[in-house]
């Protein structure tokens, strides 16, 4: 780690569990559970859209209300797409023991022409914050990777 502040193994595990809770909520079509993973003042953004997908525009949402308004009415149906998270990274923030940064690659598996295929790969850049309710996303920035 390149910081003065150390992050405990239990905090790393809690952040990894947050990352897994995200993919589980989206895969299960549970928008309320996904929204509940964000801090009240969180930012969610799609920095690099997915060319050729329905996610083809940049989006920036500030605050939990904006996140709810955007996601809940059009949340994917359960198991419409299987989300997998790979290559997780969690690092301490040098000046704040209650924050961490990290990233994860999300693989979206969907049914195309009767075959399961990886339809998209997304790199996230995250900021996590410890709250009274546990670790939450403070910021999640998504960038679709080229096909």
Per-residue pLDDT of the chain (147 residues; tens, 9 = 90+): 444 788 999 999 999 999 999 999 999 999 999 999 999 999 999 999 898 888 889 999 999 999 999 999 989 889 888 999 999 999 999 899 999 999 999 999 987 778 889 989 999 999 999 999 999 999 999 999 997
Report the predicted TM-score, pTM, of the whole model to 2 decimal places.
Answer: 0.91
Going by C-alpha positions, the residue among 67, 72, 78, 84 that lies closest to residue 120 is 84
Chain centroid to CA 44: 8
Q: What are the boundaries of each domain within the chain?
A: 9-144
At the topology level of CATH, where does 9-144 sit?
A: Nuclear Transport Factor 2; Chain: A, (3.10.450)
């Amino acid at each position: 780690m390149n910081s003065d502040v150390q992050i405990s193994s239990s905090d790393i595990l809690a952040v990894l569990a947050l990352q897994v809770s995200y993919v589980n909520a989206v895969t299960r079509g549970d928008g309320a559970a996904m929204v509940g993973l964000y801090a009240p003042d969180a930012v969610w953004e799609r920095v690099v859209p997915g060319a050729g997908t329905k996610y083809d525009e940049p989006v920036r949402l500030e605050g939990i209300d904006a996140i709810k308004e955007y996601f809940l009415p059009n949340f994917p149906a359960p198991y419409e797409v299987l989300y997998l998270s790979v290559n997780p990274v969690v690092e301490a923030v040098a000046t704040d023991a209650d924050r961490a940064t990290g990233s994860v690659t999300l693989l979206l598996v969907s049914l195309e022409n009767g075959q399961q295929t990886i339809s998209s790969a997304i790199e996230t850049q995250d900021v996590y914050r410890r709250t009274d309710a546990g670790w939450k996303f403070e910021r999640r920035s998504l960038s679709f990777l080229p096909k």
